Amino acid sequence: MQFQWYPGHMTKARRQMQEDIKLIDLVIELVDARIPLSSRNPDIDELGRQKARLILMNKADLASEKQTAAWTEYFRKKGWFVVKLDARSRTGMKTITNVIAEACREKTERDRKRGIKNRPIRAMVVGIPNVGKSTFINTYAGKACAKTGNKPGVTKGKQWIKLNKSVELLDTPGILWPKFEDQQVGLFLALTGSIKDEILNIDELSLELIRILKENYKGVLAARYGVEEEQNPPKLLAQIAENRNCIKKGNEPDYSKAAALVIDEFRSGRLGNITLEFPHEES
């Protein structure tokens, strides 16, 4: 996936979101559990302020369990419901159905008092590109779910997926625009592979990753690459190049190859469960 985000895209996405959000009761927002703040756009809080909120901490299979628990607490304190997730697996999907019911309990109760029975909860999935929205919709809705098609009173062209008796999901996810004007956010998005367009060169990106690992995940680099972690990041990268046989013609170390290796091993989880962003820094 390659994407570039121009102001025009942003305006269009925002307008679409404003329209879609009118149709729903619940915003299901996916964030990347490895970078829970950098992978979201806080504008959704304003757009969805009248709605029930569910945060899915996706790609939790790649994140630190301890940090995912801390972030869950962080979001819960805002009054939102939170579930951690690997969108590729069906495990945990039943929990989500229960949490959706819980998140919308007030609305269901209000409906009941007004004599409205069995009106399904309507939800939409939102998130920045590549966070796992389509994967989640496919896994959650599955093939068995029928699309309900257009209904009178609903904006023409909207398709709803009937998940069960009580929940309907808008079939197209809402795309949130990432905030890469912030350098740190851009860095995190590049590291997690959300932006394939390089905003930094791969060498610099890997040095940042090495710095984060060295400071927060002691022993990970030593165990994986047999390096001495006391050195500074450029020296560590050089040692990784040497130990992993990343050599160019003329017997020169190939730093870019070593950089790509470290980033790839982080993204695929081979370096272990790693969260890059911590709640105490942000809250």
Q: Which is nearer to ligand G4P, 190 or 227 (CB)?
A: 190
Distance CA 147, CA 149 (A): 6
Site string for ligand G4P, 84-123 (x = CB under 6 A): -xxxx-----------------------------------
CA angle (217, 218, 223) in 5-degree steps: 105
192: which residues sit within 8 A by CB, 6+ positions away? 32, 34, 35, 39, 267, 276
Helix (H) or strand (E) holding 169: strand 167-170
Q: Does 131 bind ligand G4P (CB under 6 A)?
A: yes
Minimum gap (Å) between residue 1 Cβ and ligand G4P: 7
Q: Does 134 bind ligand G4P (CB under 6 A)?
A: yes
CA angle (143, 145, 146) in 5-degree steps: 115
Stretch of 112-120, 124-132, 195-203, 212-220 lying at the interface with ligand G4P (CB under 6 A): 124-132
Site string for ligand G4P, 167-186 (x = CB under 6 A): --------------------
Minimum gap (Å) between residue 127 Cβ and ligand G4P: 5
Instruction: Give the single-character DSSP code of 253.
Output: B
Distance CA 59, CA 53 (A): 19
CA distances from 254 to 203, 206, 242, 244 (A): 10, 13, 9, 10
Q: Does 59 bind ligand G4P (CB under 6 A)?
A: yes
Stretch of 101-109, 116-124, 130-138, 156-164 lying at the interface with ligand G4P (CB under 6 A): 130-138
Nearest to 213 by CA among 193, 201, 199, 227: 227
With CB under 6 A as the contact rule, the residue among 38, 58, 64, 192 that binds ligand G4P is 58
Minimum gap (Å) between residue 58 Cβ and ligand G4P: 5
Catalog residues that contact ligand G4P under the rule CB under 6 A. Answer: 58-59, 61-62, 85-88, 127, 129-135
